[in-house]
Structure 1
Amino acid sequence: MRIRAATLKLGETFIGIQLAKIVESKNPKYPVGQYVTAHFGWRSHTISDGSPINGQIPALVPNFGGLPLSLALGVLGRPELVRRDRNRCWWSVGSHVGQIAKIKGCKVIGITGSDEKGRVLVEELGFDHFINYKIADVDKALTELAPEGVDCFFDN
């Protein structure tokens, strides 16, 4: 990703996976109101005719029957079986994902390897809590901070 980012000029769109709601459509395969995911890029709106983009055909997101839409999204979190081990929210991707999650109204718990980094996550980046995996029992700390469980987990 760093190589690709280094080739971008100021103002160019970073191409990555986007989860998008179809707000207007002339293609019966992609009805208004449906969600779709593809390599559209990190932008607020995309125009597509349904053709492959960067080798990927836009995929309709299935109806999850009331489950969170984030099940289809990688940028804001890949819900998966939570591996409660070392993962770094301190680095650029994790710190950005945490800030986006806060903007979206999530409770954010960062897992990092020092109290200094944890304080930055909470005091400067707005995370709700942090866990220093080097000195804390991560399972116990997560159980205390999220007693009803974790809905979304991001590990870059």
Structure 2
Amino acid sequence: MHIPPYHKKESWQRFFVGALIGAVIAYCIVMYMYGSMYEKLFAEILDLQDKVTELKNHNDALLKAKEDLDTPITVEKIEVDIVNDKELQLDNDTLMKQQLEGLIKKEIDHIVGQDVTIVSESDKLLESTIENKEISIDEFTYSFTVTKLAIITKTVIIEVKGEVSN
């Protein structure tokens, strides 16, 4: 039995080349869609992990406050804001910004549940804790300086200015 030599005909060659190019384009489209979906899910997971950590700290603080009903106002929440995120090119990269804010919160999460007056007295210690920590993510090392530290209410608000060092 003889197989016809379709590979020599120009019309079949065009068909095979078109099918190959179509397969490459379809593969690129599928990889782009998968990557963007994975990035959205990863951002959602990071956000939910931050919320779970925050709620656990809040729950621990409330349980401790319930045990000691005579305790004064305690710190319940920490908010971190990176002031110069556009200079660090983090305004488009929300994942990196969330990771940096989460690592800064993790560094000082021991203040959740403590008395506000004790935390306000040790504000210099908080500042030096944040400023002396260098955070490495994706081959970049970030160092931060505290520009604003507000400990008036149950929420501690910290504004930091970041710098990238090699």
The answer to whether TM tops 0.5 is no
Q: Bigger relative contact order, structure 1 or 2, given CA contacts below 8 A and separation 6+?
A: 2
TM-score, scaled to structure 1: 0.25
TM-score, scaled to structure 2: 0.24
Give 1 or 2 for the bigger CA radius of gyration.
2
| Greater share of residues in helix | 2
